[in-house]
Amino acid sequence: MADHTPVDGPHRIHIRRTPSGVEMDSSHFIASLLVALARDFDEDEQGVAEELREIAALDRSARHQGPDSHATHERDAQVDALLDSLGGGSQLVYGPQVAALARSLLAAGQVVAVPTQREAGAA
């Protein structure tokens, strides 16, 4: 299956079959978040830089303390707050694009039978 774009707006989603499953490319959506972050940085360089430094420090602590540590929960809460300030992390899919996305994922994710090697002497 070639690359397919079942969702073309408001943020494009590309679907591609891989040897072990499906690749769902949401780069267009992520790019819009990065642009929003850049705009915020342009308006409040010190504030945004401090917020990112704090998230990085919490992430360092979280990696050492483990997945259920205070640092992990605090990092995740700050990341969620930052995402909310950028417009949120949910990607919307509307109308007929919902069905097109589902069809593309199902088609790309179809299990393809791979011929097995025959045993010696088998015809």
Residue at 119 is within a domain: no
- Partners of 18 in the β-ladder: 21
Regarding whether 82 and 47 lie in a shared domain, the answer is: yes
Using one digit for the tens of pLDDT, what is the confidence trace for 77-122? 999 999 999 999 999 999 999 999 999 999 888 866 666 766 666 6
pLDDT exceeds 80 at position 12:
yes
Tell me what the mean pLDDT of segment 35-41 comes to. 98
SS3 of 2, please? coil
Q: How many domains does the chain have?
A: 2
Regarding whether 103 and 81 lie in a shared domain, the answer is: no
The CA distance from 4 to 66, in Å, is: 39
Quick one: tokens of 30? 């992520």
- Where in the sequence is the domain holding 51, given as residue range(s)? 43-90
Residue at 1 is within a domain: yes
Q: What is the pLDDT of residue 119?
A: 67
Residue at 19 is within a domain: yes
Residue at 118 is within a domain: no
Reported for 91-95, long-range contacts at CB under 8 A and 24+ positions apart, including other chains, are: 91/11, 91/13, 91/26, 91/29, 92/10, 92/11, 93/7, 93/13, 94/9, 94/10
Residue at 38 is within a domain: no
Regarding whether 101 and 84 lie in a shared domain, the answer is: no
Q: In the chain, what percentage of residues exceed pLDDT 70? A: 88
Q: What is the pLDDT of residue 89?
A: 93
Regarding whether 66 and 51 lie in a shared domain, the answer is: yes
Regarding whether 62 and 50 lie in a shared domain, the answer is: yes
Residue at 36 is within a domain: no
Regarding whether 75 and 51 lie in a shared domain, the answer is: yes
Alpha helix positions (H), the chain: 27-43, 45-65, 70-86, 96-108
Residue at 33 is within a domain: no
